[in-house]
Chains A and B, each alone.
Chain A
Amino acid sequence: MTTDTAAPLVNLLGFITGLVLYAMLLWMALTSGRELNRLILLTGFLGFAWNAGALAAYGLTNLGIAWSTPLLLAGAFGALCFLPSAVVHSALAASEKVSRRENLAIWIPAYAMSSIAAAMHVYAALTSGEVPSQFALRGVTVGFAVLIFALLIVTRGQENRGRILWVVAMSVFAVSALHLSEHQGSDPWWMQLAGHHASLPLALLILYQDFRFALADIFLKRALAFILLAGLTFGVFAFGMSPLLQSTPMNEQSTALMLAMWVATALTYPSLRRGAAWFVDKVVLKRVDYAEVVVKLSRDIDKCASPRSVLEETARILAPAVSASSIEWLESTTAGGDLRVEPDRRSARVAIPTGYPHYVLHIRDLTGGRRLLSDDLALLERAALIVARRIDAVRSMQERYRHELQEQEMRKLAAEAELRALRAQINPHFLFNALTTIGYLIQSAPERALGTLLKLSGLLRGLLKSSGEFVTLGEELDIIEAYLDIERERFEDRLRVRIEVPVELRRIRIPALVIQPLVENAIKHGISESRAGGEVRLSAHLDENMAVITVADTGAGMAVVQDRGRSRGMGLSNVEERLRRYGASKPLTIESVAGTGTTVVIRVPLQPADALAQSASVRSR
C-alpha cells in the first residue's frame, strides 16, 4: 500500500458513507409519517444513485472489481448533475419571502441545466463511452455558480441560518463538478475527497436540519466513530506504515508491526465511539448529558420543600434538556397513564406517579426539529420517578411537620388550659368566706375591711393573670401573702404564719401556682380542721439545681397519707404532675401525723438561666 492507494481508500470510504447517508435519508423521507416530502425523497434518490454508481465505477475498481459500464457511470453522473437542482429547489422551498415568479425563474433553469447535463452524459456514454462528459460538467459548474448568486439575491435579508449552508453546499458542488471535469484519477487524496464526495455534506445538511435527532441516534454517532476510525487508520498507514514498509521489504517484523497496528486501531474504537457520541451530543445536537440532568435534577429538587417548587424546578431543568419551548405542570385528578407522547412526537404528557393529588408535566413544542426519542422518553420516565419520590417525601415530611406542629400546639393548649383551669380554681369556699369576713369587718373595723378587700382583689388579679407559665418565686409569694392575710382575718389567732424565704431566692422562676395550692391545703386540712388552729410555715432553700420549698402546718394533720389518690386532694396531684413535667423526678413528698400537722416538700428544677445565675453567685461568694 502506498500514498497512491490513499485516494482510492478515501473514495471507497466516502462512497460507502454517502450510500448509507442517502439510504437513510430515503428511508426517513419515506417513513416520516407526515406527507411525503418529495424534495427530500428526490434528493435522497439522487444522492443514493450517485454514490452507488460512483462506488461501482471508482471505488470498487481499486479493489480489482471492475464491472462498471459507461451507461451506469452516465446514470451516476446524471444523478450528480441533478443534485444541485434539488438543492436549489430545497433552498427556495425553505425560504419564505421568495415570490412565485422568482421561484420559477430559478428552479426551471436549474432543472433544465441538470437535464441537459444528464442527457449529455448519457449521450457520451452511448457514443464515445467517455463518461463523464467534460463539457456537461463544466456547464453545470458555470450554470450553478450563476444560480448561487441568483439564490443569494433572492433570499437576501433572511434570517434563515440554513441559507449559508445551502450556499456552501452549492459551492462545493460547483468545485466538485469542476474537479470532475478536469481530472482523471491521479489527484492527491484530499482533492479526491473534496471532489468526489461533495454530496456528503448535503446529505448531512438535510439530515441535520430535518431529522437531526434521528440522524444523531441512528447514524451520526456511529458514522462519526467510523469516520474517525477510518481517518485514524488512514493516517497511520499513509504517514506511518507506508514509509516504513517502503524502506524495508516485507518480512515477519513488518507483518507483526502491521498486525499490532491493526489491533491498536481496533482497541481505540470504543473510545473513538464514545468521543464521537460526546461530540455529536454536545456540538452537533447541543444535547445535554442525560445522566448529568438526572443528577442535577435530583440534587436540585432535594432542596425544594413543597411539591410546587419541586415541579417548578423540574420544569426549569427538563425544558432545556429536551429542547421544549415550555413545560407546564398541573394537578390531575386521575392517577397513572404514565407517559403519553403526541403522534408528532413534539409534545408529551408525563404523569408523576405520586399519591393524591397527582401531577402531570406537559412538555410542549419541542424546538430545533427535535422529536422525543427513546432516550428522551427514558429520561422523562426516570425524571418522573425521581420527582414523584421527592414529592412523596416532601409530602410526608410536611405531614410529619404538620403533625408535630399540631401536637406541639395541642400540648401547649393543654398546658394553657390546665393553667387556666388552675387559675379558675379559686376556691369558692375561700372566696365566700373571705367576703363574709369583709362583711364582718365593714361593721367592726371599716379600715381593715378596706385593706382586706384590696388584698382580695390583688389576690384575684394575681390568680387570674394570664401571663406565662412561669412566675418568680417572689411573685408567687406575693399572692400567697395576700391569701394568708385574708385567711388570718378569717381565722384570727387560730392561724399563725411564718415565711422564711431568702431574698435572693425570690428571683428564681418557678411554674405559676405550685406553692399556693399547698398553702391552701394547709389551711383547709390543717388549720380549719383544728379547734386550736396552728402555724403555717413556708420556707425555701436551694439544693444543687433544685429549689426545695417546704409548706408545713401544725394543724390537724391527716390520719392517712396515701401515695396516690384522693387523700392528696386535687391541688396536690395537679402540682405534682406539673412539676414532673418540668423534669423533677420525685417532686412532692408529704409527711403527716394526725394531731401534729402536715409537711409538704416540693422540689422545683431551676430554669437554666436561674441555675446559671445561682452557680455564679455561689462562685462569687
Chain B
Amino acid sequence: MNADKLRVAIADDERPARSFLASILRTFEDVEIVGEAANGMDAVALIESARPDLALLDLQMPEVDGLGVIRLLKTNRMPLVAFVTAYDEYAVPAFEVNAVDYVLKPVEAARLRKTIDRARERLGREDYRAEETQNLRAAASEYESAGGRSPLLRIPVRRRDEIILVSVQNLVSIIADGELLHLHTTNNEAHTISYRLRDLESRLDPARFVRLGRGALVNVEMIRRILPMPGGTFNVVLNNDQELRVSRLQSRLLREQLLRL
C-alpha cells in the first residue's frame, strides 16, 4: 500500500458504470481503488471498513442511495465524497451551492482528475471530515426540500454495525428528539436515526403521514382514536397505544382534514 496514493471507494448499482469508472481511475497512477460496492448498504460497510480518502457514490441506487449512504455513515468515518450522476436537475445545484463535488456520467477522465486533485488538496486540512459532513448534510437537506428525491419506501436505520430497512408501511409514528428521530413501528420496535423531521417528512407520502405538532409525525392508518381535549385541541391514540398531543394549529388542520365526512 503506497502512502502517496489516494484511496478511493466506488459505489454504483450498475456494473458497467462501475467498471467504466474504475477503468478510468486505474489510469491514474496516484489512485488506489480500495473497493467497489453494488448498493448503498454495501457502500456504508465498505467505507467504514476500508476507510477510503474519497468515496465516489452513485446518486441513484436502489434502497439506499448516495445521499442515504452519507446519512448512515458515522461522522468520524466520513470520507471526502464526490457524487456520480447521469442527470439530476435538483442535485447538481444543491451540490454546487454547498461545495460538494460531483461528476457527471459518462465520466470524463479530465473531470475525474480534477476531483482527485481537489480531494488531495482538501485532505491536507485538519478538519476536513467535519467540514465535509456539514457540506453533505446541507446539500442533502437542500436537495430533499427541492423535491428531488423519489418518495421513500424504506427508511435505512443503523443499528450498531448493521443497517436495517424499516418499511414506511410499518411506521406508526416518528417523534423528534433534538437532532434525532425516534421511529416507532407496528411491531413495537423503536429505532433512532439522525435526520431532520422536516427532511424526512418531505420524503414521505403526505396523504399517509400527518404532523401532530412540531415534533411528531404519525401514520394516519395507525390512528385508533382521537380524543377531544379541553381548549379545543386533540389527543391521538395510536395502534401501539401511544398517546400523543396535537398542537393547536394541527388540531385545526386535523379537524378539517380528518374529522369531516
**Residues of chain A having any CB pair with chain B under 8 Å:** 428-433, 435-441, 443-444, 489-492, 525, 528-531, 556, 558-560, 562, 567, 594
Q: Name 17 A/B residue pairs within 8 A (Cβ), A-sorted.
A: A428-B86, A428-B87, A431-B86, A432-B87, A436-B17, A436-B20, A437-B20, A440-B20, A443-B20, A490-B17, A531-B38, A531-B62, A559-B153, A559-B168, A559-B205, A560-B208, A562-B207
For B14, the closest partner residue in chain A by CB is A490
B60 CB–A CB distance under 8 Å: yes
Q: Which of A431, A558, A560 contacts B207 (CB 8 A)?
A: A560
Q: Which of B19, B87, B151 contacts A560 (CB 8 A)?
A: B151
Q: Which residues of B contact A441 (CB under 8 A)?
A: 16
CB-CB under 8 A from B167, the residues of chain A are 559, 594
Q: In the docked arrangement, what's the CA distance between A355 and B58, Å?
A: 70
Cβ of A528 and Cβ of B60 under 8 Å apart?
yes
Partner of B106, one of A439, A444, A529: A439
CA distance A441 to B19 in the complex (A): 10
Contact B19 A444 (CB under 8 A): yes
Minimum CB–CB distance from A517 to chain B (whole Å) comes to: 17
- Shortest distance from the beta carbon of A31 to any chain B beta carbon, whole Å: 92
- Residues 152-172 of B, flagged 1 when their CB comes within 8 A of A and 0 if not, give 010000000000000111000
In the bound complex, residues from chain B placing their C-beta under 8 Å from that of A558 are 153
CA distance A17 to B107 in the complex (A): 119
CB-contact partner of B205 in A444, A529, A560, under 8 A: A560
Given contacts A443-B23, A530-B62, contact A429 B16 (CB under 8 A): no
Which B residues from 99 to 147 make CB contacts under 8 A with A? 104-107
A432 surroundings in chain B (CB, below 8 A): 86-87, 104-106
* Cα separation A470 to B148 with both chains bound (whole Å): 34
Considering only CB atoms, which chain A residue lies closest to B38 in the complex? Answer: A531
Instruction: Report chain A residues within 8 Å CB of B39.
Output: 531
Additional A-B contacts beyond A437-B16, A492-B14 (18; CB < 8 A)? A429-B60, A435-B106, A436-B14, A436-B16, A436-B105, A437-B20, A439-B20, A439-B107, A443-B19, A443-B23, A489-B16, A490-B17, A530-B62, A531-B62, A556-B153, A559-B169, A560-B151, A594-B153
In the complex, residue of chain A having the shortest beta-carbon distance to the beta carbon of B147: A566
Cα of A229 to Cα of B13 in the assembled complex, Å = 117
CB closest residue in chain A, given B41: A531
Give the docked Cα–Cα distance between A492 and B17 (Å).
Answer: 11
Given A528-B62, A529-B62, A490 contacting B16 (CB threshold 8 A): yes
Taking a contact as CB atoms under 8 Å apart, the answer to whether A556 and B62 are in contact is yes
Which chain A residue shows the least CB distance to B108?
A: A439
User: Does chain A have a CB within 8 A of B88?
Assistant: yes
Assign chain B's interface to a size class: 20 to 34
Query: A443–B25 Cα gap in the complex (Å)?
Result: 14
Complex Cα distance, B14 from A530, in Å, reads: 12
CB–CB B88/A429 < 8 A: yes
Tell me which of A433, A444, A528 has the highest count of chain B C-beta atoms within 10 A of its own C-beta: A433
A435 to B151, CA, bound (A): 27
Interface string of B51-76 (1 = CB under 8 A from A): 00000000010110000000000000
In the complex, the chain B residue whose C-beta lies closest to that of A442 is B20
Tell me which residues from 205 to 256 in chain B have a Cβ below 8 Å from any Cβ of chain A. Answer: 205, 207-208
CA of A436 to CA of B85 in the docked complex: distance in angstroms? 10
Please name all residues of chain A whose beta carbon is closer than 8 Å to the beta carbon of B23 when the two chains form the complex.
440, 443
B63 touches A531 (CB 8 A): yes
Q: Which residues of A contact B150 (CB under 8 A)?
A: 525, 529
Write the chain B residue with the least CB distance to A489: B16
Across the interface, do A433 and B105 meet the contact criterion of CB distance under 8 Å?
yes
Instruction: Give min CB distance, B100 to chain A, whole Å.
Output: 19
Q: Does B198 contact A (CB under 8 A)?
A: no
In the complex with contacts A490-B14, A529-B62, A531-B63, A433-B86 CB distance below 8 A:
yes
User: Looking across the interface, which residue of chain B has its beta carbon closest to that of A529?
Assistant: B62
Please pick, from A435, A438, A491, the residue contacting B14 in the complex, using a CB distance under 8 A: A491
> Which residues of A are found within 8 Å of B62, using beta-carbon distances?
528-531, 556
For residue B26, give the distance in angstroms from its CB to the closest CB of chain A. 11
Known contacts A492-B15, A531-B13, A594-B169; A436/B106 CB under 8 A: yes
With contacts A443-B23, A559-B151 taken as known, whether A436 is within 8 angstroms of B107 at the C-beta atoms is yes
A436 to chain B: which residues have CB within 8 Å? 14, 16-17, 20, 86, 105-107
Which A-chain residue is minimally distant from B167 (CB atoms)? A594
B16 touches A492 (CB 8 A): yes
Q: How far apart are the CA atoms of A492 and B13 in the complex, in Å?
A: 11
Residues of B within 8 Å of A429, CB to CB, are 60, 86-88
A484 to chain B, nearest CB (A): 15
B105 with A435: CB separation less than 8 A: yes
